[in-house]
């Protein structure tokens, strides 16, 4: 029996099957679409104060599935096409700490429905608002006065309208430290109530400073002062988000005053702390 035709047939079938098998093992790579993410913005109502923000990154969801954490701006590939739902959640540095990145609980998600095409690029301008029902217990922009007063006779805080001193608007708070007043302790004039039971509580403020200073809270039921967050000097204006949830819940106090403190120190020359847009807010 001549087996040559049969062997040739088997070999022919084998060589035909190799590309098919390779394609099954190494399928063609999907072609991504791209999103070009620009600087975000926050839109506020008059009763919510400044729209300043310091969003550092986003949690991105694609068609309700977690996609990843992305930087504030950049070009990013997505394996998706056609009608696609994108949801951006604003991320911040909790307490100003770079390795503590969290979703800020008081900004709404920005949800966009768009059409993605392979190799195509769309521009995204994330926009956020405060969530409905956010309670602002302190809201101070220093335009008409100040809710912060010194706890002693001297009061080094003034409202400055000098362009080099002002973050936005017409006024910012300016605190002068020198050999006569080497330290400060400021408290909010009126106490405010903060909730327990796990509600989110944050302090927001814009600042620049020549020296370290501390932000904290004073319990009105015990008069105890909690010097909670040390703020490092910044030569340019910065915004920080301070997470007060744990402090308020572990102390089991509901009535508080806001505290700004700078320890007396041996100063060379005159130093300044600048503040603006101080907010205490909760759900």
**Is residue 128 within 8 Å of residue 108, measured between CB atoms?**
yes
Q: What tens digit of pLDDT does each residue of 110-161 get? A: 999 999 999 999 999 999 999 999 999 999 999 999 999 987 767 789 999 9
- Is the confidence at residue 54, as pLDDT, over 90? yes
- d(Cα 4, Cα 251) in Å, to the nearest integer? 90
Give pLDDT, residue 271.
94
Q: What percent of the chain has pLDDT over 90?
A: 80
pLDDT digits (tens, 9 = 90+) for 229-271: 999 999 999 999 999 999 999 998 999 999 999 998 766 789 9
Q: Are 152 and 65 in contact (CB under 8 A)?
A: no
In whole angstroms, what is the distance from residue 281 CA to residue 226 CA?
Answer: 18
pLDDT at 268: 78
Q: What is the pLDDT of residue 95?
A: 98
Q: 29: which residues sit within 8 A by CB, 6+ positions away?
A: none
Average pLDDT over residues 61-81: 97
Using CA atoms, how far apart are residues 97 and 196, in angstroms rounded to an integer?
24
Q: How many other CB atoms are found less than 10 A from the CB of residue 277? A: 22
Kindly list the distances between the CA atom of residue 204 and the CA atoms of 52, 183, 280, in Å, as whole numbers in the listed order: 10, 22, 6
The H-assigned helical ranges of 74-230 are: none
Residue 86's pLDDT is what?
98
pLDDT at 21 > cutoff 80 = no
Query: How much is the pLDDT for 156?
Result: 82
Contacts of 96 (CB under 8 A, 6+ apart): 229, 231, 232, 240, 241, 242
Helix ranges restricted to H, 26-89: none
Q: What is the pLDDT of residue 4?
A: 47
Three-class DSSP category at 182: coil
Cα distance between residue 266 and residue 274, in whole Å? 20
* Cα separation, 47 vs 141, whole angstroms: 12
- Domains of the chain: residue spans and CATH: 33-129 (2.60.40), 135-282 (2.60.120.260)
CA distance 197 to 199: 6
Residue 8 has pLDDT above 50, yes or no: no
């Amino acid at each position: 029996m001549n087996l040559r035709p049969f062997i040739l047939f088997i070999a022919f079938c084998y060589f035909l099957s190799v590309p098919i098998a390779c394609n099954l093992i190494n399928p063609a790579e999907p072609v991504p679409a791209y999103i070009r993410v620009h600087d975000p913005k926050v839109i506020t109502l008059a009763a919510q104060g400044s729209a300043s923000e310091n969003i550092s990154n986003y949690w991105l969801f694609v068609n309700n599935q977690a996609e990843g954490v992305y930087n504030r701006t950049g070009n990013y590939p997505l394996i998706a096409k056609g009608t696609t739902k994108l949801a951006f959640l604003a991320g911040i540095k909790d307490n100003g700490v770079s390795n503590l990145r969290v979703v800020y609980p008081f900004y709404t998600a920005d949800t966009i429905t768009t059409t993605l095409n392979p190799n195509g690029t769309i521009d995204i301008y994330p926009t956020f608002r405060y969530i409905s029902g956010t309670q602002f217990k302190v809201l101070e922009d220093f335009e008409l006065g100040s809710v912060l007063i010194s706890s002693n006779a001297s009061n080094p805080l003034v409202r400055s309208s000098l362009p080099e001193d002002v973050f936005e608007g017409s006024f910012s708070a300016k605190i002068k430290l020198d050999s006569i007043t080497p330290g400060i302790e400021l408290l909010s004039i009126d106490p405010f109530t903060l909730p327990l039971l796990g509600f989110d509580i944050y302090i927001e403020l814009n600042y620049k400073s020549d020296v370290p200073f501390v932000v904290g809270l004073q319990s009105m039921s015990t008069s105890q002062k909690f010097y909670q967050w040390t703020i490092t000097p910044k030569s340019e204006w910065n915004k920080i988000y301070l997470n007060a949830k744990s402090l308020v819940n572990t102390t089991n106090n509901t009535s508080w005053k806001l505290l700004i403190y700078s320890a007396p120190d041996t100063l060379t020359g005159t130093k300044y702390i600048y503040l603006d847009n101080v907010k205490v807010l909760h759900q």
